[in-house]
Amino acid sequence: MSDQNSTASLTVVGGGLAGCEAAWHAANAGVRVRLHEMRPVQPTEAHKTDKLAELVCSNSFRNASVDTAVGLLKDEMRRLGSLVMTAADATSVPAGAALAVDRDGFAGAVTRAIEEHPKIELVRGEVDRIPDGVSIIATGPLTSPALSQELQSRLGEQHLYFYDAIAPIVSADSIDTSIAFRASRYDKGGDDYFNFPFDEDEYYAFVEAIIEAEKVPTRDFERCVYFEGCMPIEEMARRGRDTLAFGPMRPVGLIDPRTGKRPYAVAQARQDDREGTLYNLVGFQTKMTYPEQRRVFRMVPGLEKSSFVRLGSLHRNTFINSPKALRQTLQLQGSPDVFLAGQLVGVEGYVESAATGILAGVNATRILRGEEPLVPPATTSLGSLLRYITERTRKEFQPMNANYGLFPPLAEKKRTRGRERRKQLGERAQRDCAAWLAENGWAQPEVAAGGRVTDGDLVIGD
């Protein structure tokens, strides 16, 4: 790798959300970046295109409100000049209180921004070892076996890993709109979702079919650990016949216009593209075989004649034991020139992954300039997440989403509960983030701030 790295000040490995953010921020700071992405030379079991920042699971970036920690994290990323947030905002599709995107439009916008940046050289092909010099490894949950082995050797211990599942996508014109109705829970966001109502008998027959369906077998040598935020539907059904009705199929806040009553359970489908021709089944991640998916999911009222443009699947997500391996700056312990970012460090979710890419890009740039790397305040959404994944005393480590439970408590005299507590935590985080940025002389990169949208495309600069 040394000869490949000779023309670049920084090497970034991985063209996902975190890698693109890292490359973008370093390049906007004037650093020459070589960004490596192995696709399409080396495909993965989950990706379908050669675009950078391809979303292989949901098209949702989750709740957009700062009442939630992930909404607050989006706010912090925008303050930092995030490429991912700029592209997501430019390609958003209706999703109620959430930020969801046209997945092809989003990946296309990020890809164009990276390819057209004068400081970034995009190299297609697999990297099988950690590059020489200052580098960022952001290869994500599907890190190639060769690089995984290299990381394992560097870390001196086995990777941890869990299984992630992808939900099916159906064609909108195959949905029976005499049964399915458009609405968002409690009318938040208008009619952004298709809703498929179940009566009691239909629901329990559906659950039994899920439990009895043939599943893709797990290989004997793999430890099967699922992340709670992306649990396969059959695993939820196995925990109890009512689990789904209190989870992704909860009917609260929805009224079936045919009956004027709340259904016993509801399946929801969220718009997956800008044109509204594709919808993904919310919470229906699965490891059922393809024939069984077609059979079982066509039991959903309104999907009896559905056309599936993508079926669900299961893949392994790799992450390291960050409390033992990482500093809060995202540098490897014992290898300060090597940064890790994205899902590889044990954060879960698109937004969280991209946010760590921003920090890795900023800190790698600072190292190249002989400056001390930065750590955001623990009271911010990003800072609280970093503190969680790098807490050295943690013995049992599992991936984590941004959430207010990770935040340091409020001062004793300000302690409250519920929504008021979240509001105060959010206000404190925004104040501390603004002060931290000002203290470090932060200014949003001119190129990122000058981006604009034309016909759905992200255009960089003038």
Q: Where are the domains of the chain?
A: 10-159+320-459, 165-316
Task: Provide φ and ψ at 255, rounded to 5°.
Answer: -125, 130
What are the tokens at 50?
A: 């050669």
What count of Cα atoms within 13 Å lies in the side-chain half-sphere of residue 303? Answer: 28
pLDDT over 70 (residue 45):
no
H/E stretch holding 271: strand 265-271
Q: What is the pLDDT of residue 159?
A: 66
Which range among 90-99, 141-150, 328-337, 338-347 shows the weakest confidence by mean pLDDT? 141-150
Report residue 52's pLDDT band, with 50, 70 and 90 as the boundaries: very high
For residues 226 and 219, the answer to whether their CB atoms sit within 8 Å is no
Q: Where are the alpha helices (DSSP H) in 80-227?
A: 83-90, 103-116, 145-155, 200-212
Q: Which residues contact 131 (CB under 8 A, 6 or more apart)?
A: 1, 2, 4, 5, 11, 13
pLDDT over 50 (residue 183):
yes
Q: What angle do CA 387, 392, 396 make, to 5 degrees?
A: 95
How many C-beta neighbours within 10 Å does residue 2 have?
Answer: 8
CATH code reported for the domain at 10-159+320-459? 3.50.50.60
Report residue 281's pLDDT band, with 50, 70 and 90 as the boundaries: very high
Q: Which residues contact 397 (CB under 8 A, 6 or more apart)?
A: 160, 321, 322, 323, 346, 389
Looking up tokens 């893709």 gives 216
The three-state secondary structure class of 457 is: strand
Q: What is the share, in percent, of the chain residues with pLDDT greater than 70?
A: 86
CATH topology of domain 165-316: Elongation Factor Tu (Ef-tu); domain 3 (2.40.30)
What is the residue type of 435?
A
What are the tokens at 218?
A: 């797990």
For residues 313 and 165, the answer to whether their CB atoms sit within 8 Å is yes
Report residue 448's pLDDT band, with 50, 70 and 90 as the boundaries: very low
DSSP 132-162: SSSEEE--GGG--HHHHHHHHHHHTSPPEEE
d(CA 209, CA 213): 6
Is there a common fold for 10-159+320-459 and 165-316? no
Give the mean model confidence (pLDDT) for residues 212-235: 71
Report residue 93's pLDDT band, with 50, 70 and 90 as the boundaries: very high
Average pLDDT of every residue of the chain: 86
With left for phi above 0 and alpha for psi between -120 and 50, is residue 35 left, alpha or beta? beta
**Where is pLDDT greater, at 6 or 395?**
395
Give the mean model confidence (pLDDT) for residues 438-446: 70
Q: What is the pLDDT of residue 439?
A: 93
What count of Cα atoms within 13 Å lies in the side-chain half-sphere of residue 265? Answer: 22
DSSP 327-352: -TTSEETTEEEEEE-GGGGTB-SHHH
Q: What is the pLDDT of residues 148-162, one digit of tens each?
A: 888 888 887 666 666
